Amino acid sequence: MAPPEDQSEQVKDESTIAASSPSPADDRPVSTIVFVIAMQTEALPLVNKFQLVEDVDPPFPKGVPWVRYYGNYKDLKLNIVCPGKDTVLGVDSVGTISSSLLTYASIQALKPDLIINAGTAGGFKAKGASIGDVFIASHAAFHDRRIPIPVFDLYGVGLRQAFPTPNLLKELNLKVGKLSTGDSLDMSPVDESSITANDATVKDMEGAAVAYVSDLLKVPAILLKAVTDIVDGDKPTAEEFLQNLAAVAAALDEAATQIVDFISGKSLSEL
């Protein structure tokens, strides 16, 4: 069930405008960056690269497993935050709920000028993705929030435009594609239909959630995704993901470093 076409387009237009609205601070140099990264394996190469140290008393609620690394790099205050290990099962706290809570708390505590959600993702070869490719998402949407009621259906998809970075893209020659987010690593037929409707090149478990919170609190967000597995390929997703995780994390590390180097000394409007 869908809302009338004109109303649907109006809602989509309003969502896009809200997500990309300029801030009064756009003309001052970026000072503080927060990387939101779901898995420690993805985060540690960057922690080492930027010579960050772990915060032994992070500014988060007591008892949560969230981890913060921080330090200075060139003229930037860098923070990498991870949701940490599940307190019962000991695995990385992946997914939209952990990343939403962590992004909200980090924005409140650290007052960043920019959020960068860096992580691995599945890619679609039909859309031109290959193992090790690094994408900046142009848009993010959910594929597993199905609410078949007029206008609520658009809310469920939650389409948002990521913060535009035309100069960064041109300088670094990074790939661009749309991102679809859900809380499952695999892809059911109904999810596949939604991902196709989202026109996604990559799929992950955090990006659209980070984009939602960033939009809500008016902090620009860049969504950086490196492809570990080909979703429409012939290998099992979990097997391919684990096989390629370490190597692709290195590619993600390289791209993230290039991005930080490019941002150094620039304002948001120059990105």
Q: Give dist(CA 5, CA 48) in Å, integer.
A: 50
Scanning the structure block, which residue is given the tokens 């690269």? Answer: 49
The radius of gyration of the chain from alpha carbons, rounded to an integer in Å, stands at 18
Candidates 132, 119, 118, 95; CA nearest to 244 is 132
Q: Give dist(CA 172, CA 135) in Å, integer.
A: 11
Q: Give dist(CA 227, CA 204) in Å, integer.
A: 10
Q: Give dist(CA 82, CA 98) in Å, integer.
A: 9
Active-site residue among 113, 206, 229, 240?
229
DSSP reduced 3-state for 15:
helix
Q: Quick one: tokens of 134?
A: 């690094």
Active-site residue among 42, 92, 191, 253?
42
Q: Give dist(CA 164, CA 153) in Å, integer.
A: 25
β pairing state of 53-54 and 67-73: antiparallel
C-alpha distances out from residue 39 to 46, 144, 162, 188, Å: 12, 21, 22, 23
Candidates 103, 71, 79; CA nearest to 206 is 103
Q: Quick one: tokens of 49?
A: 């690269």
Q: Which residues, 6 or more positions from 29, have their beta carbon under 8 angstroms from its beta carbon?
A: 75, 265, 266, 267
> What amino acid is encoded at 232 in this protein?
D
Is residue 229 among the annotated active site residues?
Answer: yes
Annotated catalytic residues are 42, 229
